[in-house]
Every structure is written in C-alpha cells, then in structure tokens.
A and B are shown apart, each in its own frame.
Chain A
Amino acid sequence: MSSEWPLWEVFIRGQHGLNHRHVGSLHAPDAELAIRHARDVYTRRNEGVSIWVVPSAQITASAPSEKGPLFEPANAKVYRHPTFYDIPDEVGHM
C-alpha cells in the first residue's frame, strides 16, 4: 500500500524584516496540516514568525547543466559593479 502524503517545501521567516527562507521539506496530506507539521518540525525553538508551504511538485528548478548559459553572461559584465569605476581620491567618498 502506498498512500504516501505528498511532499511540501517549507519556508520560514526567521525575524520580522527578513525574507522567508527555505528550511527543508515534509510530508502532509494538505496545506493546512503542512503548516502545522512545519511548526512542529522546523520551529520548536522560536525560529520563525511566519511559515510558507508549497507543494514540492509545483516547484520548477533550473537544471544544473544550464548553469553555464544561465549565469556565465553576468560574469562578463564587470561594469555592473561599482568597483569597475575609478573615482579620483580628491572627489571623496562616492
């Protein structure tokens, strides 16, 4: 018999003002119970102020093999960084 509960990805906001961050996954029959389980599994020591759960099957991820085409173009664009530009000392902090 396999009626395994579906898998959910859990995201927790650690403190007010921070992003929700992926902390792990768990099995639950529905979203409501996924939140309750996430409370028990991932916030036993006040680790969070808010929880998101998302069905794992709903997540689309980039393929590791696409790492080059996806991210390498940014490598060549050094002019996007402030350190690319020389500002004379006399100008002061900028």
Chain B
Amino acid sequence: MLEIKNLHAEVDGKAILKGIDLNINKGEVHAIMGPNGSGKSTLANVLAGRDDYEVTEGGILFDGKDISELEPEERAGEGIFLAFQYPVEIPGVTNTTFLKEALNAQRRYRGEEELDGMEFVKMIRGKTKELGIKDDMLKRAVNVGFSGGEKKRNDILQMAVLNPKLAVLDETDSGLDIDALKVVAEGVNKLRAENNAILVITHYQRLLNYIVPDQVHVLSNGKIRRSGGKELALELEEKGYADYSGEAA
C-alpha cells in the first residue's frame, strides 16, 4: 500500500530525511521509533504533505500512485490520515461542521456522493457510540479547551469518521497519562482492519503495549537503521537508542 523509496527531505534547506525505504502492506501495523531529532515527525509531515517540507530525492508511492507532489487535501482524499502530535485548536468551528466539511470534501475528491445532514448525523452518532465519546463534544469548537487526552480522542474520532486507508500516528502518546493512552489505543485498535494500515511513530515503547505492531523500525539521523518484529521495541526500551545515535549518514 505504502512504498517509500530512498526518500530524502529537507526543512528550511536542512536535510532531515536521508534515504528512507519502507514498505507497508494492507492490514499491517508498523512502528517507527527513534530518538529526538531523528526525523520521525518530519517523516509524518512529509507523508501528509506539509508545505515547508521539501522532498529532494526519492518518492512515495501510495497504492501504486506517486503522491509526493500532491497537496495535503489530495493526500487526505487518497486515504492518508495524520493524527497530530499536537492537534490544533480551531476557535469558532464546531467539530460537527469540521467533520462534515472534511468528509464531504474527501468524498467529492473521490467522486462519491456527499452525505446530507441526516445521513451525516446518523453516521457520526454511530462512531461516537462505538468510541465511547460523548455527543456534546461534537458541538464544541475543534479542540478548544480540550484536555490533552480529549484532543487525541478527537483525532481518533476524526480518523473513525474519515476511515483512511493509512493512518499515521505522530507521537500520539505524548502528553497522555496511562489511562488516556489506553483509551486512545483502544480507539485505534477498533479501527484496525484488513484493508487499512497503521504507522505508529513514537519515542517510547509503552504505546506499543497497546497497539501491537507487526514490524518495528528504528529511525536515527534520517535513516532506518534496523527493522524487526515487536520484540525490537522491548529491546530499545531496555537499551535505549545509544547504539544508533553514533551512526552518521
């Protein structure tokens, strides 16, 4: 589903990603772990198509299509979803309005029929129930006055509504206590399916206790240094990233 080939990217002229190769198939969960400054968040932003991140070499194929030149909204339409490390507050825009506009924009992109008000309400009620989210959250402005945990849950709700093929979770665990972490992980697990894939980006192993990956990759200094099964995460937890930090590109 996702094929990243020799991906190089820079921010403000500074090379951050220095040749990443990564393949993710349908139904798989991959984790990328790495020390601070290794390029983890850059990879997430590059996948989502943020403007300031420039791909200088290599490419990203999604379902066989090169998406590296697509706008963020086009990638969303293709089925890529980024759960943010710090979900943004949008005063004055309610969750419902936002979700409806987003979903219908994606459906338009894919040439699908838009949902009308009734259909949308029915669908979203189902999702909130499934995720155990109170309906009053829908009436609130996007993330405004939300606790850290609520913001992350809101991102998971968006993910449930938009139903992406690939979800990229960028340090979703940061700022969460263990209870909030469990709730968020549970939400993610509910959305795991044969036809979609998840890429979890994290510094710590603890999230992977709850979202169990098929493969773990160690990112350091802009390159994937090692890949392995879920046991690799435990090894990193024990030994830290010291073994990888010395490797210069």
Whether chain B is bound by chain A comes out as no
